[in-house]
Amino acid sequence: MTTPVLRARDLHYAYPDGTVALSGIDLDVAAGERVAVTGPNGSGKSTLLQVLGGLVEPSGGHVEYFGETTTAETVRERLGVVLQDPDDSLFNTTVRADIEYGPAQLGVPREEADRRVRVLADALDLDGLLDKPPHRLSGGEKKRAALACVLSFEPCVLLLDEPTSAVDAPRTADVLDILDRRHRAGTTLVTVTPDVELIPRVADRVVVVGPAGELVADGPVADVLTDPETLATAGLEPPATVRLFDRLGWDDPPVDVDDALDRLEAKGLARR
Ligand SMILES: Nc1ncnc2c1ncn2[C@@H]1O[C@H](COP(=O)(O)OP(=O)(O)OP(=O)(O)O)[C@@H](O)[C@H]1O
């Protein structure tokens, strides 16, 4: 691997009340990778994302950014963090002001900032919401607005905590489309999700965190999601397509519907 954009070593974190959230996590993320972080509720995924994003100081271990520094503040404009709770990212009087905030902090010219707001509003269906106060938005609207706030300053690494939770199906497709576009343009994506069905859509590699915040697996999506024993260690089940093929006694289970259709076509059982 060339110099990783993120290099985490032996991360530990315990909350002040003593709850252990991370137990010795090592993680390297290369430029341009798409990595998912999954695990059961309470396994420390959000805590890990906040530590990777430099928002929470680990109790032990460290994170190195771009092979340059262990201080996230110095690389803040290259590192975008979308938190699980959108209220943590929306603090201006209007949605437009929130989306413009990052570019303004970085000295992006007014015209370019306006263009970014227009493009993001169009892509994330925020057009009718730009002049609203963020606290008046619905949950799914807030989620899309919070994503736009981070995308607007165009960081080259995006850390995303459940970016599609509370977002309806058509707008989830919009969110995934814009993340695909950013990835094709070279952006590194690290996406936290407890939803194994989403993983093949957002990542090529998946890191599984166990109930005690320990690393259970780290590998290609197609390998990890078809390994029921490893997933069970973390209290997770494989995606539905894998379970279906398993029930049918068929080898080489697919991790998503497109993959499943390919296999069924190959067996002469489906036509597209
Ligand atoms: N402020 C806090 N004080 C004490 N314990 C906390 C705090 N925030 C989180 N925790 C605990 O730390 C553990 C890890 O929480 P975290 O939110 O990182 O899990 P998660 O894997 O992201 O969960 P989910 O899938 O439900 O979002 C949990 O046991 C949680 O109860």
Instruction: Name the residue ranges covered by the structural domains of the chain.
Output: 4-225, 239-271
- pLDDT score at 226: 96
SS3 82: strand
| 37 DSSP β-pair partners | 192, 207
Rounded-to-5 percentages of helix, strand, coil across the chain: 40, 20, 40
Q: What is the ipTM of this complex?
A: 0.98
d(CA 85, CA 38): 17
Architecture of the domain delimited by 4-225: 3-Layer(aba) Sandwich (3.40)
Q: Which residues contact 158 (CB under 8 A, 6 or more apart)?
A: 80, 82, 150, 151, 179, 182, 187, 188, 189, 190
Residue-wise pLDDT tens digits, 209-219: 999 999 999 99
Write the residue with the smallest CA distance to atom 30 of ligand 1.
42
- pLDDT score at 156: 97
In order of 78, 87, 150, 172, 207, the CA distances from 144 in angstroms are 20, 11, 10, 9, 25
Residue 110 phi, psi (nearest 5): -50, -45
Q: Measured from the CA of 40, which atom of ligand 1 is nearest?
A: 25
* DSSP label at residue 69: B
Write the residue with the smallest CA distance to atom 6 of ligand 1.
15
Q: Measured from the CA of 43, which atom of ligand 1 is nearest?
A: 21
d(CA 272, CA 264): 10
Encoded tokens for 200: 């093949």
- pLDDT score at 1: 61
Where does ligand 1 bind, in terms of residues with CB under 6 Å?
15, 17, 19, 21, 39, 41-47, 194
d(CA 160, CA 189): 8
Determine the distance separating the centroid of ligand 1 and the alpha carbon of 209, expressed in angstroms.
Answer: 13
d(CA 144, CA 13): 29
Write the residue with the smallest CA distance to atom 24 of ligand 1.
41
d(CA 72, CA 166): 29
Q: Do 93 and 136 form a contact (C-beta atoms < 8 A)?
A: no
Residue-wise pLDDT tens digits, 108-123: 999 999 999 999 999 9
- pLDDT score at 87: 95
Determine the distance separating the centroid of ligand 1 and the alpha carbon of 87, expressed in angstroms.
Answer: 17
To test the ligand 1 pocket, which listed residue (47, 196, 207, 216) has its Cβ within 8 A of the most ligand atoms? 47
In order of 37, 133, 170, 228, 240, the CA distances from 26 in angstroms are 12, 40, 36, 23, 29
d(CA 143, CA 166): 7
d(CA 248, CA 7): 41
pLDDT in tens, the chain (272 residues): 688 999 999 999 999 999 999 999 999 999 999 999 999 999 999 999 999 999 999 999 999 999 999 999 999 999 999 999 999 999 999 999 999 999 999 999 999 999 999 999 999 999 999 999 999 999 999 999 999 999 999 999 999 999 999 999 999 999 999 999 999 999 999 999 999 999 999 999 999 999 999 999 999 999 999 999 999 999 999 999 999 999 999 988 999 999 999 999 988 888 87
Encoded tokens for 22: 């991370």
Q: Do 159 and 53 form a contact (C-beta atoms < 8 A)?
A: yes
SS3 206: strand
